[in-house]
Amino acid sequence: MIRYYVDTLYIRRPAFVISPLIYNQKSSLALFMPITSNHKNYPFEVALPSELRIHGVILVDQIKCLNWKARPLKFVESVPQDLIEEVQAKIEPLLF
């Protein structure tokens, strides 16, 4: 799921939320990966499909945690399952 969040400078930024809804609701936190339009062919980037409203790449190795009650998230759009699988494949080597 892609959502906007507000950073410390109060700028809206797109992000790919990776934590399940039940976790987000119970903890008031959300885990996400930032999305950038600055594509560098970095091995841990996942390109967003061109048919999505948001363009750019997901930075898979830059997982962040956000208190969504303090900085509300705004839903933008869902992503295809194959994109989720590509993100999972890129993050797996980084965990444990």
Q: Can you tell me the distance from the alpha carbon of 60 to that of 89, in angstroms, rounded to the nearest whole number?
A: 10
Fold for 2-94, please state it: SH3 type barrels. (2.30.30)
Given this model, what pLDDT does residue 73 score? 81
The overall pTM is greater than 0.85: yes
Helix (H, G, I), strand (E, B) or coil at 42: coil
Per-residue pLDDT tens digits of the chain, which is 96 residues long: 666 665 656 678 899 999 999 999 999 999 999 999 998 999 999 999 999 999 999 999 999 999 988 887 888 899 999 999 999 999 999 998
- What are the structure tokens assigned to 83, written together? 């994109």
Dihedrals φ, ψ of 89, to 5°?
-65, -35
Per-domain residue ranges for the chain? 2-94
Contacts of 39 by beta carbon, 8 Å cutoff, 6+ apart: 45, 47, 56, 57
